[in-house]
Every structure is written in structure tokens, then in C-alpha cells.
Amino acid sequence: MEHLLMFGLEITKTGADSRVHGHKPSVVRAVLCLFCMHLGRDAVELDDGSKRQRTQNTNYFTAAFRKENFTLLVKLQHPADFEMYSSLGSEEKKSFFNVKNHTQDSIHRYVQAAQTVLNIPVFKAIVKIIIGEIFLRLKLDEDGEEMEPITKTNAFKLFK
């Protein structure tokens, strides 16, 4: 149980211990890494020999639990976050993952915000159809021109 707070873990599955009747009502069967769940894995440079990208999945541990496995995960996957976390006191650690603005809740976890910006050129007519017809519900004639006076000109200024 001391490892839960030390490494930022949470119990996800418990079960009865069939070997010890009456002594332990339940034992821990699985835990998950709260760093993976709330913060994602730290960005690292992939070496040239890498054949695949690092996973963004949440790491689960099942019995038998070993401290070395927890240590390896936080040192390899969450070095910066774990360094900050390990410097906190017990009460601060308990509330560390309750913060609402973690990377997990944003698109940056999936697109890895450190990557270069991706610009995709799109024809003006496509933007007019998507924004105009779908979002702004504008009526277009056969030539793609607006039939009604536009009241949303400011919306299209973003796409020039």
C-alpha cells in the first residue's frame, strides 16, 4: 500500500485471497499508473533505430507487484513529472492528480504538441461549404454563391 502513494498508483481490481481464509477479505489484483492516465508519457526523442512510436496507453500492473517495475516505469516514461511528484509531501501527493488541467484532458496528449505545426491548404469553396452550410446554415445557389446576405462575414475572415 505504501507504493500506491510513492509511485502514483491506483487500485483498479481486488479479489478474495483463496489461500488465506478469514485473514484478508480482499487482495489487490491490479493497479494503474496515474501518471499515464492523467499526464500521458513524457516526450522523448526516438532514436533512428526505432521501428514504432511510443505508446500513449495507460500502464496497468497485475500481481505479482514488484517495486522495480514501478521504478522502471516512472524513470523511463515519466521522468520529469515523477521528479516533481516525488519532491512533494504526502498530502500534496494525494491531491496531485486531482488537478483538472492535465494533458490527459486535452488533444495535446494524442497529437504530441511538441511536433511541428501541420498546415493543410484547403480550397475556399470547401471551407464555404463546410462552414457555411453545416455550421452557419447558409443557403448557397448552384454556383456556390450565397443566396442570402451574409451576416457571418467575420467567421470567414479566419480562412483567408
Can you list the positions of beta strands (E) in the chain?
9-15, 27-33, 60-62
Asked whether the beta carbons of 14 and 29 are under 8 A apart, the reply is yes
Nearest in space to 96 (alpha carbons), one of 109, 82, 85: 85
Average pLDDT of the chain, as a whole number = 71
Give the pLDDT confidence of 61-84 residue by residue, as tens digits.
887 788 888 888 888 888 888 888
pTM: 0.51
The rounded percent of the chain whose pLDDT value lies above 90 is 0
Copy the grid coordinates of residue 102: 492535465
Give the pLDDT confidence of 44-63 residue by residue, as tens digits.
555 656 655 566 677 778 87
So where are the chain's domains? 2-111, 124-157
pLDDT exceeds cutoff 70 at 18: no
109 phi/psi in degrees, rounded to 5: -65, -35
